[in-house]
Amino acid sequence: MPLGPTVRRRRLGAELRRLREGHSLKLEEVAEQLGLAPSTLSRIETGKAPTKSAYLTAMLGMYEVDDPVARKVLVDMAREGHRKGWWSIYDDVLPSGFDIYVGLEAEASGLRSYETDVVHGLLQTTDYAVAVLRELRPRDSAEQIARVVDLRMERQRLLDQDPALDLWLILDEGAIRRNIGGTKVMRPQLEHLIQASRWSNVTLQILGFESGAHAGLVGPFSILEFPERDDSDVAYTESVGGMIYLEKEREVRTCAEAFDRMRASALSPAASVELIQQVLEDLC
């Protein structure tokens, strides 16, 4: 699978950060020489924003990158990083910063995710997604909601592409018991979860109420894994206050350890399907 712009930007940013640190330069020092705010340079180094060719040329000069081959590799990365991903057509309805997540998800090989109150977007039915988004985006028009749902359905193609995204999903029991949209919406949603649990690239577990206190009490989070070893994992979480991307090895490892503890506490995949089936039968 060809590299998309998000991974290209991450790789370029990581290399620029490595070069800067190799020359014992502080981020603030380089930003001042470039005439940039330190926060802008930080976004470039973390791959959250593309870099202009003039800034890249100046940095390569500061970092004494004289080898033509090495310079061409970095210039090509920067050029590719400016390309638009397929999700750019939804820019008008994408929450600020969520394009980064969609780009990372589109290029990930694996996704480990924990959800508390709702079914994960990659396994939502259309009607369920509409019911959720109407509450989360009350000011949006019906047309805007429809476009966000379209984006969500496009993201779901990751699960049947070749190679398919490997999804390990832990749902809190509340997510399958919360009757979102009424029985006519919830019944097909639960049936879809049962069907998805049979897919070879999906592992689904329910974290039951009886498990008591657990490592995910702070809230939902995801860990994105990439096919190339050079592309480090990214942990992601969001709340009413915004989105947070965790990329430091220690931070990602903390999330991974929490996820491992949670899947040890959760019901087995088979028992999880049995519980979903029970909830489905209990629906009026």
pLDDT exceeds 70 at position 45? yes
Opening angle at CA 11, ends 167 and 69, nearest 5: 140
Q: How confident is the model at residue 97 (pLDDT cuts 50, 70, 90)?
A: confident
Is 262 in contact with 220 (CB distance < 8 Å)? Answer: no
Residue whose C-alpha is closest to residue 210's, from 173, 240, 175, 237 = 173
Residues 46 and 101 in one domain: no
**Claim to verify: residue 77 and residue 166 sit in the same structural domain:** no
Q: Which of 64, 81, 98 is the last residue of a domain?
A: 81
- pLDDT score, position 83: 82
More confident residue, 34 or 2: 34
Q: Which of 25-29, 91-95, 110-114 has the largest mean confidence?
A: 110-114
Tokens of 67: 């080898």
Instruction: Please tell me the distance from the alpha carbon of residue 171 to that of residue 272, in angstroms, as a whole number.
Output: 9
**Same domain, residue pair 51 and 140:** no
Q: 103 with 58, same domain?
A: no
Contacts by 175-182 with C-beta closer than 8 Å and gap 24+? Answer: 175/115, 175/116, 175/117, 175/118, 175/119, 176/119, 176/206, 176/275, 176/276, 176/279, 177/279, 178/117, 178/118, 179/283, 180/118, 180/128, 180/131, 180/132, 181/127, 181/128, 181/130, 181/131
Omega before 163 within 30 of 0, i.e. cis: yes
Higher per-residue confidence, 273 vs 245? 273
Q: Is 166 exposed, middle or buried (0-12, 13-18, 19+ CB in 10 A)?
A: middle
My answer on whether 166 and 237 are in the same domain is yes
Claim to verify: residue 76 and residue 170 sit in the same structural domain: no
202-261 pLDDT, tens digit per residue, is: 999 999 999 999 999 999 999 999 988 778 899 999 887 788 989 889 999 999 999 999
pLDDT in tens, 193-204: 999 999 999 999
Q: Looking at residue 177, what is its pLDDT?
A: 96
pLDDT score at 284? 67
Indicate whether this model's pTM tops 0.85: no
pLDDT at 8: 81
Q: Is 160 found in the same domain as 94?
A: yes
210 and 94 in one domain?
Answer: yes
The last residue of one of the domains, among 22, 46, 81, is 81
The predicted pLDDT at position 41 comes to 93
Please answer whether residues 145 and 92 qualify as being in contact, where contact means their C-beta atoms are separated by less than 8 angstroms: no
Contact status, residue 122 vs residue 167, Cβ threshold 8 Å:
yes
The structural domain count of the chain equals 2
Final residue of a structural domain among 81, 112, 132: 81
Same domain, 184 and 230: yes
Note whether 197 and 267 are within 8 A (CB). no
State residue 35's pLDDT score: 92
| Whether residue 59 is found in the same domain as residue 93 | no
Is there a single domain that holds both residue 259 and residue 118? yes
Q: Please say if the pLDDT value at position 2 is more than 60.
A: no
Query: Region 259-284: what's the mean pLDDT?
Result: 95
CATH of the domain at 276: 3.30.870
Q: What is the mean pLDDT of residues 153-166?
A: 95
- Is pLDDT above 90 for 184? yes
For residues 214 and 174, the answer to whether their CB atoms sit within 8 Å is: no
The CATH number of the domain holding residue 16 is: 1.10.260.40
**Domain range holding 215?**
86-282
Give the pLDDT confidence score for residue 145 in this predicted structure: 96
pLDDT at 173: 97
In a shared domain, residues 164 and 187: yes
Residue 1 confidence (pLDDT) = 44
Tally of CB atoms within 10 A around 177: 17
Cα–Cα nearest to 60, from 74, 49, 48: 74
Average pLDDT, the chain: 92
